Amino acid sequence: MDYQEEVAIYGRPVKVTASLIGPDVLITVTGGDQPHLGVVTAGTRLEPLQTVQLQTHKEFYITESWSVRIRQVFKGNFFVVSGVHFDGLTKTELQAATKELELLVEGVIKWLNNMS
C-alpha cells in the first residue's frame, strides 16, 4: 500500500507520494507551477545524509528537513526526492510555502508508523 497526499499551496497543486520498496522507502514531493526533480536526499538511520542538488535547485530545504524526521521513525534506507516550483511568489510567500511543505512530512510519518 502506497501513501499519497495532494494539497494546494497558493492555489498550486503539490503531491506527496511514498512507496515501500522491500525494507526501504521512496518519497517524492513535487508540484507548484512546474513539477520536476531537482534534489534528492538519501539516508538511513545511522549514517550521514547525502544530498544531490541539480543546477540551482533549492528543494534541499525540504528533502533534508524531511530526512531528519524520517530517520527518527524509519529503520530502512530512504530517498526523499523533490521538485516544487512556484512562479511569482514574494520572498515572504515562498518562506510560508516552504513551511507548509515541511509540515506535509507528518502524513508520511503517520503512514510509516502504521506500516511497521
Beta strand pairing call for 24-32 and 78-85? parallel
21 lies in some domain: yes
Q: What does the pLDDT read at residue 111?
A: 98
Confirm if 109 and 73 have CB atoms less than 8 A apart. Answer: yes
Confirm if 67 and 60 have CB atoms less than 8 A apart. Answer: no
pLDDT values of the chain reduced to their tens digit, one per residue, 116 residues = 899 999 999 999 999 999 999 999 999 999 999 999 999 999 999 999 999 999 998 899 999 999 999 999 999 999 999 999 999 999 999 999 999 999 999 999 999 999 87
Q: What does the pLDDT read at residue 115?
A: 87
- C-alpha grid cell for residue 66? 524531511
54 lies in some domain: no
pTM of the predicted model as reported, rounded to 2 decimal places? 0.94
57 lies in some domain: no
93 lies in some domain: yes
Instruction: Say how many domains are in the chain.
Output: 1
Q: Which SS3 state, helix, strand or coil, does residue 26 take?
A: strand
Confirm if 78 and 20 have CB atoms less than 8 A apart. Answer: no
Domain that holds residue 18: 1-37+76-115
Confirm if 1 and 92 have CB atoms less than 8 A apart. Answer: no
